Homo-oligomer: A and B are copies of this chain.
Amino acid sequence: MRLATIVDSGRHRVAVVSDDRVLVLEGERSMREMAAEGLAALETVQAWVEAQSDAAWQPLKSAVLGPVVPDPGAIYTIGHNYRPVDAPDGDPDAPPRPLVYGKAAASVGAHGDVLAWDRSVTDNVDAEVELGVVMGPEGSVFGYTCINDVSSRDEWLDGDQWLLGKSMPGFCPVGPWIVTPDALDPADLRVTCSINGESIQDGRTSQLRFGIAEVIEYLGRHLELRPGDLIATGTPARLATPPGPGRRLAAGDLVTVRIEGIGELTTRIG
């Protein structure tokens, strides 16, 4: 099942996505509340969806998508978690344990958002594709999604102070929707990021050093993971080809994060 959060008369509503159509669910449950109910609760949703007439669906292209989880309790990102493709075994930079970084929960953004920020704080910002995990109850996976882990590369904000460099409003585009685990095997998905159509990252989730189960287990030993929390599982290396490493995001850029089996998350830089 694919689940999106759509904006309907100023409110967030959860909707089922099927091909090029969406069906808004009844009731007022947020995606976080649905995540808390877990995958078992989706059987009821599935039965309800199947009982609806074609007229209840609306075209996907007419829907305004919100952040998949508009109010995550926390966002965790995993650093240095992709093995280089040319040194699959002998990587000296391999961390002994998952490297965990946080992003402010208030930094979530939606597919199609325009992302603008105060350039006097940082003007050295880049994008990173990450397979996102939406947590369900008791350490379970409720769904997979695309995350763009927008981060400052300023020295002050990219070292010890990474929390500040990753947390400006809109720095965590997440979407366009969630794909539930029954519909997606995350073991070997292509993950890419491009700026204005030029590829800057191109990897596969099979390069993950610490897999999803390991990351969840490790995080869960150090803190309480709660339903609706987001985990960005890491990002492949920047490609050396143009525009190459060091290309800063600039006004007008269109950033496209794509994950095989999920979809495409785009952000326009304002």
Contacts of A168 in B (CB 8 A): 222-223
Residues of B within 8 A of A226 (CB): 106
Which residues of chain A (89-120) have a CB below 8 Å from chain B?
Answer: 97, 99-102, 104-107, 118
Taking CB atoms, residues of chain B closer than 8 Å to A189 are none
Q: Are A101 and B224 in contact (CB under 8 A)?
A: no
Pick from B100, B169, B221: contact of A223, CB below 8 A.
B169
| Inter-subunit contact B104/A74 (CB<8 Å) | yes
Decide if A49 is an interface residue (CB 8 Å cutoff).
no
Is A164 close to B, CB under 8 A? yes
Residues of B within 8 Å of A102, CB to CB, are: 102, 104, 163
From B73, B160, B223, A99 is in contact (CB under 8 Å) with: B160
Nearest chain B CB to A101 CB, angstrom units: 7
Number of A interface residues at 8 Å Cβ cutoff, please give it.
28
Report the bound CA distance from A224 to B171 in whole Å: 11
A163 and B106 contact, CB distance less than 8 A: no
Chain B residues, Cβ within 8 Å of A222: 121, 164-165, 167-168
Distance from A98 Cβ to chain B, minimum over Cβ atoms (Å):
9
Q: Does A156 contact B (CB under 8 A)?
A: yes
A110 to chain B, nearest CB (A): 15
Residue numbers in B under 8 Å from A196 (CB-CB):
none
Copies of the protein in its oligomer: 2
Residues of B within 8 A of A163 (CB): 100-102, 163
The CA-CA distance from A107 to B161 in the complex, in Å, is 21
Name the B residues within 8 Å of A224 (CB-CB): 104, 106-107, 169
**Chain B residues closer than 8 Å to A107, beta-carbon distance:** 223-224
For A105, the chain B residues whose CB sits under 8 A away are 73-74, 105
Q: Is the CB of B223 within 8 A of A97?
A: no
Q: Give bound CA distance, A163 to B121, whole Å.
A: 23
- Whether B221 lies near A106 (C-beta < 8 A) is no
**In the complex, per-residue mask of A220-247: 1 if CB is within 8 Å of any chain B CB, else 0:** 0111111000000000000000000000
Closest B-chain residue to A167, C-beta based? Answer: B223
A251 to chain B, nearest CB (A): 19
Query: 8 A–B contact pairs at CB < 8 A?
Result: A74-B105, A99-B160, A101-B163, A102-B163, A104-B223, A167-B223, A169-B223, A169-B224
The 10 tightest CB contacts between A and B, nearest first, are A106-B224, A167-B223, A164-B222, A104-B223, A102-B102, A169-B224, A102-B163, A100-B164, A121-B221, A106-B226
